[in-house]
Structure 1
Amino acid sequence: MLTYFGRRVNPAEDAADCLGETLLVLWRRRDAFPVERSDQRAWTYGIAHQILRTRRRGAIRRIRLTERLRDELHVSKQFSARSDDHTAIDAMARLSEADREVLALVIWEGFTLTDAAKILGIRPEAARARYSRARTRMRRLLAAED
């Protein structure tokens, strides 16, 4: 089985990980292990094949996400503490951590309020209320600076 993975996985050192995952699945599904000797080998290799498919899908997803992130970093304007707009940075710093985080997720990172709620582990209604409150406080802080 290690040779099976060794011929299909790059780098070859990952073959041992694939074998370990296969053995783990075999152990978990031991109750479904075929009785017939001829079926046992095919069943085991079928599981190994699924491990390879899952690994390949994961690799493709990682490559796509990396490419998307690289493209976004090239295109999007990055926030920097060295920005010329020190007034906004100072105002953000004076907000509570909760207010600052919801604003950053929605404004800087481009998440929806629903997504921000999931990230923060709060209900969407709570995220909307926090976002509204944070915007109001931010407006007041910016108006006081003028």
Structure 2
Amino acid sequence: MRVSKTTAPGPAVPAPGCGWYLSAPALAAAGVYGGTVWTVRSWASCPLGNDASNTIGLTLLMPVVWLCMTLLLLLSPLALRGWLSRGRGRRAAKWLAPLTMVIALTLLYRLGMGWPVHPPGGLCVEGYPLFPFTG
């Protein structure tokens, strides 16, 4: 009888745990709040920016942006599954990936809200867009 020695399989790549999925709404809320505060402060110099209707448009926009950001963060483990299964540092990357995505989505949200244009010799007469990238 011949006995062969086999090597034990390497450690299985753990699937993203509940912590990743539970942190997505909180990270998205922080990103939306930060992007909204940044937008309000950027538009504060315009008469139709920060002072127009007590920023009701941005307040109503926040749940929509939060929902979109949360869904993207919840789908990110599926997109990153193959990438996180290879190489060293995958445990750290598993937690840095959502943070990086939140920062990128917050910057995208802020970029979509635009910046006020101050014509020479006059005040800014436009308000922030009602939805990102709509102008």
Per the normalisation by structure 1, the TM-score is: 0.33
Q: Indicate the structure (1 or 2) with the bigger Cα radius of gyration.
A: 1
Q: Which has the higher helix share?
A: 1
- Higher relative contact order, chain-length normalized (CA < 8 Å, sep 6+): 2
Per the normalisation by structure 2, the TM-score is: 0.35
